[in-house]
Structures are given as structure tokens and as C-alpha cells.
Amino acid sequence: MSKEKKLIVEMLFNNWGATADRLTMRWIEYRIDIFMKYALKSLLLQSSQDFTCYVLYDPKSERLINEILKKYPSLPSNICFVTPKDYQSHINRDIEKFKYLYRVYLSSDDMYHQDFIKKLHAYKAHKDTVALIPQYGYIYDSVQKRLGKFFFWLPSYGVTIIKVEEYLRGQAARYSWRDAFKVPREFIHINEPIWINHIHGQNTGTTFANALTWKIANVHDACTLEPWNNNKQPKAAFGPEITEPNEIEQILNRFF
């Protein structure tokens, strides 16, 4: 195991106020089921298991979280549900023998390609780089069983790189994926779809119908676009939709 970098996959479950019902049994049951069927399977499929994933939940929902998790097989030792407070103490313990903390972002209903973690370990970032941005992926609607390529200028995926020494001294800036264009950055997996933005029954973000409208003139394949480095002009593109069932299955099998 390399002592150069520690990869922490950070998932926000219900510890932020995205929806009013995020503390209810119905919401938590549904979202844990989605996590188990998609995000967890994606993590278990990773060709490198050299990472730790923390799924952050609101302390007020702890009883419900634990009650529902008991209905499923136990999680592996490198994946666990924690409160934000416990998350910080876990990180401090996890990173103390490493040089860099790679803070990896993934929503609890989304997926990474099976080699994403392995490739992150192999990747050599420039000395001053703070953010790694993967702008290429897929949109998958698991209700309609529809899949298409997708380019997004500032995805909620990727990595921020933190020097462990500064972090443990409390001197590290707390950047997230939202700050990627404010800091020195590199674009990774250029022209390579590396994540899946998952649309399901209770998304609050977008719909497949909306995604179909995100077109750029004369661009058939969104993943042929060059990296987009203009923070003042957002850019998104969809297409093509993949309609052959065997091709859809082959692609999805590389993600979960």
C-alpha cells in the first residue's frame, strides 16, 4: 500500500437539507436501497479496494439508519455510515501516515467506472494541483433504462488534493468539487466516460428528458469535446443516447 496518498470517498447521504423529508423512514429506506443497488455495488466492483468510503448522515436519523442497515448484509470494513463529527475523527486517524489526502466525491446514488480508484492511485498530479476534474461520463435513467454520454463542465465528482501535514494542523483550505475552478486544477480521464449520473424515481437534480435538450451544434458525441476551462461560461452536452441493449449492459457492467 502506497503511503503517498490516502483516498477517502466522501458521500453525503442526508446530512444536508436538500429535501424536507430526508429524516423520514420512507426517504431513508428508499435512499439506502438505492445506495445498496448502485453506489455500493460500484465501490465493491472497484479493481482497487485501497480506499475508505464514509457515508455521512444526520445524527438525528441515527436510529433509523442503523435499523434499516440491519436489513442488509454487513458493509465491508472500508465502507461505513458516519456522522459528520465522527467523519472528521476518522479522517484524522486514517491519513496520519500519508503525505496527501485525496478527497474523492461521489453521490450515494451514483457510480464510478470500476478502474477509477486504481487509476487515481497511479495518477501523478502536478505539485501545486488542488483539484482533479473528470468532465466526461454517462447519464443513466434506471426507471426508463436509458443511457447516454454526457459532458459537464463542473461535475459533482472528482477529487481535491490536500497536504496531510497542513490538514492535521488545521491549516488546509477546505475546498470541495464546487471550488474546482477557483484552484490549480487538472482535467482527468479526458474523452473517457468515468462516472454515471444516475436518474431514478426520487431525484431532485434533473431528468432524462431535460438532458436530451443539452445539445451543442455539430457535436454528435459529447465525449469528444475538449476539456472546458472557462468558469464564467458553463458548458454541458448530451449525446449520443445508447440504444442497443447489449451495449447498454456491457457499459453498465463496468460501473456496478
What mean pLDDT do residues 182-194 have?
98
Cβ atoms of 93 and 234 closer than 8 Å: no
Across all residues in the chain, what is the average pLDDT?
A: 96
pLDDT of res. 19: 73
Q: How would you write 202-238 as a 3-class SS string?
A: CCCCCCHHHHCCCCCCCCCCHHHCCCCCCCCCCCEEE
What mean pLDDT do residues 148-163 have?
97
pLDDT of res. 17: 66
Residue 230: how many other CB atoms lie within 10 Å: 9
The pTM of this model reads: 0.95
pLDDT of res. 165: 97
The domain limits of the chain are 5-252
pLDDT of res. 18: 61
| Closest by CA position to 8, among listed 64, 87, 75 | 87
pLDDT at 199 > cutoff 90? yes
pLDDT of res. 30: 96
Class at the top of the CATH hierarchy for domain 5-252: alpha beta
| Side chain identity at residue 87, one-letter code | Y
pLDDT of res. 177: 96
- Percent of the chain at pLDDT above 70? 98
What mean pLDDT do residues 208-232 have?
95
Least confident of 7-16, 63-72, 147-156, 197-206: 197-206
SS3 1: coil
Q: Give residue 45's Cα distance to chain centre.
A: 14
pLDDT at 20 > cutoff 80? no
What mean pLDDT do residues 195-204 have?
86
The DSSP annotation for 76-130 comes to PTTEEEE-HHHHHHHHHHHHTT-SEEEEEE--TT-EE-TTHHHHHHH----TT--
User: Residue 15 — pLDDT band, cuts 50, 70, 90?
Assistant: confident
pLDDT at 59 > cutoff 80? yes
Q: Give residue 122's Cα distance to chain centre.
A: 18
The DSSP annotation for 146-178 comes to EEEEEEESS-S-SEEEEEHHHHHTT-S----GG
* Bridge partners (DSSP) listed for residue 241: 148
Calpha distance 38→198 (Å, rounded): 9
Eight-state DSSP code of residue 73: P
pLDDT at 168 > cutoff 80? yes
pLDDT of res. 78: 99
Calpha distance 81→144 (Å, rounded): 30
pLDDT of res. 231: 86
pLDDT of res. 202: 73
